[in-house]
Structure 1
Amino acid sequence: MTLMQRWMSGKIDDPALFPTDPDTVGFALHPEYTSNALQQQQGGEDWLGARSGFPKQLGSTCQLIFRQIFRVYAHLYWDHFVEPFYHLNLEKQLNSCFSHFILTATTLDMLQPAELEPMQYLIDLWAADGTFPPESRPYAYANVERGRYIQSLGTSA
């Protein structure tokens, strides 16, 4: 298991495979400020991926993929959190991956608030404890008061 983690970390930390420098990332951090020149060049063909030759249904296909990944996370949390994640001290890694996934999926409108219901209590807790910044969509979708109540249950035990 340790060897596998080391191999994965080596791949993830390789900037050639996973670029994290904002200057090299092709995703617009503030899409509302980008120019409409690209849409004009496309001659009205403005669906996601049109310029790269992807089909018009790319957006709905991506949403379906994100929903399936979310279901995998929900299954891991509900049925496998204690064994193996907690017993192998991997809960922090799982939480980190899931929180980044939720931030990305909601920012890109790949998941809607109703679809988050199976993991809503965890999202509420993370909004209350500061894992999600107040300006983020997961925070807006969360019931922060319920998250604070869940936090109080953990501190009183």
Structure 2
Amino acid sequence: YLYFERQYFWHNEHGQRLYCSGPLYTDYVTSYIQELLTDEKVFPTKVGSGFPKGFVSLVQKIFLLLFRILVHIYWAHYHQAAKLDLHPHLNTLFKHFIIFSQEFALLEDSDTAVMASLITALC
């Protein structure tokens, strides 16, 4: 999980809290999501296969983790993105992410409160 004072921690498979850097946190998150996406029991690809119980909750968790990475990018790297003229792309990505999450109720307002002003401005 991510704290906005630039302290990051992740709970490993043993429930231990691991403090880590932003890049390591991002690696943990993306690796975890990749594992889920390639797990046939979680994201079935065969015709007739159903999604597991708790699927929506899992997708909400994935979206929360991805949101936290986007927040980190904005808070820690926005100036670099702007210098490279990448900020319009970042804003477009963020806007689409938020609109999709709102459409399917994947994030709570309390989860996104830290970025409420940007969400209001972009959406």
TM surpasses 0.5 = yes
TM range (shorter): 0.5 to 0.7
Indicate yes or no: 2:61 matched with 1:64. yes
Look up the match of 2:121.
Answer: 125
Please state how far the C-alpha of 1:125 moved relative to its aligned partner.
Answer: 2.1
1:82, 1:74 → 2: CA distance? 13
Q: TM-score normalised to the size of structure 2?
A: 0.59
Aligned residue among 75, 82, 87 for 2:83: 87
Q: Where has structure 1 moved over 6 Å in runs of 4 or more?
A: none
Aligned residue among 98, 104, 109 for 1:108: 104
Pairwise mapping of residues 6-85 of structure 1 onto structure 2 (< 5 A)?
52-83=49-80, 85=81
The alignment of Structure 1 onto Structure 2 pairs a total of residues equal to 77
Q: TM-score normalised to the size of structure 1?
A: 0.46
Q: SS at the partner of 1:120?
A: helix
Which of structures 1 and 2 has the larger relative contact order (alpha carbons within 8 angstroms, sep 6+)?
A: 2
Listed as ranges, the gaps of 5+ residues in structure 1 are 1-48, 127-131, 133-157
What is the CA RMSD across the aligned residues, in angstroms?
Answer: 1.5
Please identify the structure whose Cα radius of gyration is greater.
1
Of Structure 1 and Structure 2, the greater strand share is in 2
